[in-house]
Amino acid sequence: MKTKKMLSLALTGVLSMSLLAGCGGSSSGSAQTSAPAPSSSGGSDGEPVKVAMLLTGYINDAGWNQSAYEGLQMAEEEFGIEGAYTEAVPQPDFETVLRDYADQGYDLIIAVGNELSDATLAVAGSFPDTTFAIMNGNSAQAPNVGAYRFNTPQSGFLAGAIAAMYSTDGTVGMIGGTTAPHIKDCVDAFAEGAKYIDPDITALTGYTDSMTDVAKGKEMGMAFIEQGADVLCANANSCSLGVIDAAKEKGIRHIGYISDQYDVAPDTVMVSVVQSNQFMIRAIVESVINGEFTPELHLFGMSEGALYLSDYHGHDDQLTDEQKAKIDEIIEGIKDGSLREAGILPKSTFEQ
């Protein structure tokens, strides 16, 4: 009986450890300050602008957090700011870490992720001289908190237009992971973009209701292909890999999304519309340095460089010169706002 008790204690221990690990953060989030880059531009008073970054994950996660960190490095090199970051901040420490940086006199503190919103809004009032930026945030607060999001109708519209150009049978499809507003915006704009190129095109749209169920993504891709789609696109994190797998298996084309997905299936992925955290962070830092900061919800898109078209990796030989010119024209139209003014490019849900 005693051994059983010991065993039960040990197993309980293992399970509770796993629960803690599941909460996704070590209690000792490592704080590191990277060496200040040689100051070239600097702040208004000659001192380099100090920018701190809070991340809830690790900077080598090959995804969201890593690209944000690379954005900080990019800004360090380009603007000569002094950067610092704390990775894998556990939730109970959000406010403490934010306060620490503000106390140390950082000019701009970037909270990478909507989950940091509440803590940032709670802290910001005590530090009126510090600017706070929330990535993917929904709420800004006067006078010193700004929220930043990608202008996803722009990327969806461009992906739809390009998909329509690659289509030979007149049916394209876009698969979203969830119906979160920024994803739905992109999916709806995809259909608009495809129709802009070919008014008679059939643009299929659907949602997997999962960002991780790669098998369901593949099945949905298969269902779209059965309905005649010959170009697909997907905005559903890992689930997108299933859609690409379906396209590859059935020998149709795919437009990458969020990152350059060429390496996933070189013969299938024609080109990708990239949402870049790097350029997003760079743009945030730039706007603060230039004194253009305003405490509102900012939608960054192509003109800020946060959204852009990847390299074609040679697949542009399947487009005519006319089509390539049209793509450039659309990108220009998105950048200068003319497509938006003409009512062709849909409005983002977050636009006020």
Identify the residue among 25, 80, 83, 173 touching another protein (CB under 8 A): 173
Of the pair 37, 222, the CB lying nearest another protein is at 222
Of the pair 1, 342, the CB lying nearest another protein is at 1
User: How far apart, in whole angstroms, are the C-alpha atoms of residue 343 and residue 241?
Assistant: 33
Q: How far is CA 143 from CA 121, 140, 269, 296, 309, in A?
A: 11, 9, 44, 9, 34
User: How far apart, in whole angstroms, are the C-alpha atoms of residue 288 and residue 270?
Assistant: 36
Q: Which residue is associated with the tokens 């908190």?
A: 145
Q: How far is the CB of 237 from another protein (least distance, A)?
A: 9
Q: How far is the CB of 277 from another protein (least distance, A)?
A: 18
The answer to the question of residue 267 lying near another protein (CB under 8 A) is no
Identify the residue among 50, 149, 195, 218 touching another protein (CB under 8 A): 218
Give the containing element (helix H, strand E) for 244: helix 239-250
Task: Sketch the per residue contact string, 53 through 72, with another protein: x for CB under 8 A, - otherwise.
Answer: ---------x----------
Count Cα atoms within 13 angstroms, Cβ side, for 4.
1
Is 99 exposed, middle or buried (CB count within 10 Å of its CB: 0-12, 13-18, 19+)?
middle
CB-based contacts of 62: which residues, under 8 Å, 6+ apart?
Answer: none
Identify the residue among 179, 294, 320, 338 touching another protein (CB under 8 A): 179
Q: At how many degrees (to 10) do helices 321-335 and 152-166 cross?
A: 170
The answer to the question of residue 238 lying near another protein (CB under 8 A) is yes
Backbone phi, then psi, for 5, in 5-degree steps?
Answer: -65, -45
The answer to the question of residue 245 lying near another protein (CB under 8 A) is yes
> Which parts of 113-152 interact with another protein (CB under 8 A)?
none
The answer to the question of residue 213 lying near another protein (CB under 8 A) is yes
Binding segment for another protein (CB under 8 A), chosen from 76-84, 133-141, 261-269, 338-346, is 261-269
Question: Residue count at the site for another protein (CB under 8 A)?
Answer: 41
The answer to the question of residue 160 lying near another protein (CB under 8 A) is no
Binding segment for another protein (CB under 8 A), chosen from 41-49, 122-130, 134-142, 220-228, is 220-228
Identify the residue among 2, 18, 32, 44 touching another protein (CB under 8 A): 18
Q: At how many degrees (to 10) do helices 181-197 and 321-335 cross?
A: 140
The answer to the question of residue 241 lying near another protein (CB under 8 A) is yes
User: How far apart, in whole angstroms, are the C-alpha atoms of residue 98 and residue 109?
Assistant: 8
309 beta partners: 273
Of the pair 250, 335, the CB lying nearest another protein is at 250
Of the pair 132, 224, the CB lying nearest another protein is at 224
User: How far apart, in whole angstroms, are the C-alpha atoms of residue 205 and residue 175?
Assistant: 6
Q: How far is the CB of 323 from another protein (least distance, A)?
A: 25
Identify the residue among 165, 174, 194, 220 touching another protein (CB under 8 A): 220
Of the pair 74, 265, the CB lying nearest another protein is at 265
Of the pair 62, 142, the CB lying nearest another protein is at 62
Tell me if 89 sits within 8 A of 55, measured CB to CB.
yes
Q: For the chain, how far is it from start to end, CA to CA, in angstroms? A: 67
Q: Residue 1: how many CB atoms within 10 A of its CB?
A: 5
Q: Which residue is associated with the tokens 């800020």?
A: 304
The answer to the question of residue 210 lying near another protein (CB under 8 A) is yes
71: helix, strand or coil: helix
User: How far apart, in whole angstroms, are the C-alpha atoms of residue 227 and residue 231?
Assistant: 12
Of the pair 244, 345, the CB lying nearest another protein is at 244
Q: How far is the CB of 253 from another protein (least distance, A)?
A: 17
- Binding-site ranges for another protein (CB under 8 A): 4, 7-8, 11, 14-15, 18-19, 21-22, 62, 173, 179, 202, 204-207, 209-210, 212-216, 218-220, 222-224, 226-227, 229, 238, 241-242, 245, 263-265
